[in-house]
Structure 1
Amino acid sequence: MTFFSRIFAARQARPLDVAKFAKAYASAAQARFPGAEVKIEEAATAAGVKVHWAMPDGMQVNQFLGNAYAAYQKAPADMDAIIAAHLDAAPTGQEADAATRRASILPLVKTTMWLATSLKQLDAAGIENKEAFITEPLTDELLVAFVEDKPEAMSYVAPGELEALGLTRAELMPLALENLRRQLPALTVEGKEGRYGVRADGNYDASFIFLAQEWRDRVEIKGDPVVAVPARDELLVCGSQDSDSVRALRDMAARIMAQSAYGLSAQLFTWKDGKLVVFTE
């Protein structure tokens, strides 16, 4: 394994897979709400796995486990505390106020293929209103979508929700970036010798590509930042004048994208005139 591969190697497997984590979560929910009927709804991806329970008074509660499982993967020893915190945030049936909702809006890097597939799924489900997402183009193959990062789940911001949020479409991206900027202190950088991985929470790592100039001083690179976002939880960087690292970054990006369930792009990018463009040597 090359030095670069060791730096950007996939994270080690965690003690519990998402199915076992969901069982632990459901058990904790049952203990927290003894009179509730608790069940697990499986899904194709970790983000879609849901624990559902019905309270004796008829209230229905759904908690998607994507965020909780991502937190557990980063700190498996803290599983009990993570589950407890997410149960504390279980929906009460009351909608958060607009200010609280605005503070939870974040940018999420997605692919144009994801958008096309999602729209086809709406078609297949017979849903006529397909304005379920607000997106902005990023590159030929990437775009940014906007989500409310709620404790129980991510939910996409739809055009019809802007009025309730007290936002215009033009205000959405600046707000999302400002909310993301508040997470900069928790950002970590791994690597050395000009080759680095920028780490966040496993959900928004790639989104920090928008704030590259704000973490630029944490990496020692030659030239301008060359970045890769091969997956949602990967943001890799080296310098434009370091040809060996550029070649290694290109190879690693292709490998990660091919293996990840949340693959984005095997391309390398740089910022030019405020736009993300494909990097060419």
Structure 2
Amino acid sequence: MHNAYLQYKANPEDLSPILEQYSNSLLENALKLSTSLDKSRIFPVIKDKSYILQISLMAKAKYENKGMPFLYKKLNEVLYLVFALDTQNSMRFLNENDLIKLELKQTELLPLSIENLKREFAGLSVQGDPSSLSMLVADGNYEASFFVVDSLWDKKIFPVKGDIVVHMPSRDTVLITGSEDLDGLKRVSGIISKNTNNLAYPITNIGFIRINGAWELYKPK
């Protein structure tokens, strides 16, 4: 959508063909079948509700009653999880036929994808001050995916004031601060406001707070 937005800014009179091109691109990406199946290359990918709804509507319009072209898991009211099969040459999202060929159960996807993610990005780093405001750095594609890696979200790693609060405005931007860190929260808000229209692969501007080992929607005081 970011690329479509840039095209629209350059040629605002061409909105309809731009949206048509974007819609076709999304479905083609979701339905690619040429990627070789390799369990070790399955990774979790965070998407928001609007993305899932958009794909659902487009798939229904184009392929009638075939349903969603890929598997997904609802995380909360805002976020969903899809599973990418990412190889050296291409990337697509897993579907039900893939599970059959891989002899995998859907319940096995999340733990498998998390282990793959941790192995592939063992060099994940934290930039900034983990006790105040920091961000994750992986490869520019999978930073937000670490949202589902429970072992990462520990106060020993992020000794922030209050509970850990995470914002993921895009797939490569994960900002971490504390629920009682007013300065950190203000800076996060400023970063998001300043860059909303410039972030590629946006997710959501809504924050999430870590309470009792689980994520909840963050509601600013």
TM-score range, shorter-chain basis?
0.7 to 0.9
Correspondence 1:24-63 to 2 at 5 A: none
Are residues 1:199 and 2:124 paired? no
In structure 2, the partner of 1:272 is 211
Task: Structure 1 unaligned segments of length 5 or more: list them.
Answer: 1-42, 49-63, 65-92
Deviations 1:67-99 (A, max 9, x none): xxxxxxxxxxxxxxxxxxxxxxxxxx8945xxx
In structure 2, the partner of 1:134 is 71
Q: Which amino acid in the other structure matches residue 162 of structure 2?
A: G
Tell me the SS of whatever aligns to 2:77.
coil
Equivalent position to 1:116, from 43, 53, 58: 53
- Partner Cα distance (2:97, 2:46) in 1: 21
Equivalent position to 1:167, from 94, 101, 104: 104
Q: Note if contact 2:35-2:92 (Cα within 8 Å) is conserved in structure 1.
A: no
Which stretch of structure 1 is more off in the superposition, 188-197 or 227-236? 188-197
- 1:234/1:128 CA distance change after superposition, 3 Å: same
Are residues 1:176 and 2:106 paired? no
Cα RMSD for the two superposed structures: 2.7
> How far has the Cα of 1:183 moved from its partner?
3.4
Q: Note if contact 1:131-1:159 (Cα within 8 Å) is conserved in structure 2.
A: no
Tell me the SS of whatever aligns to 2:69.
coil
Q: Which amino acid in the other structure matches residue 261 of structure 1?
A: A
| Percent of aligned positions that are identical | 26
TM-score, normalised via structure 2 length: 0.75
TM-score, normalised via structure 1 length: 0.60
- Partner Cα distance (2:36, 2:94) in 1: 15
Q: Which amino acid in the other structure matches residue 196 of structure 1?
A: S
Tell me the SS of whatever aligns to 1:262.
coil
- Partner Cα distance (2:197, 2:75) in 1: 21
Aligned residues: 191
- 1:207/1:265 CA distance change after superposition, 3 Å: same
In structure 2, the partner of 1:256 is 195
In structure 1, the partner of 2:178 is 239
Deviations 1:118-137 (A, max 9, x none): 12222332354223121111
Larger Rg: 1
Q: Which amino acid in the other structure matches residue 259 of structure 1?
A: N
- 1:229/1:113 CA distance change after superposition, 3 Å: same
* Structure showing greater relative contact order (alpha-carbon pairs closer than 8 Å, 6 or more residues apart): 2
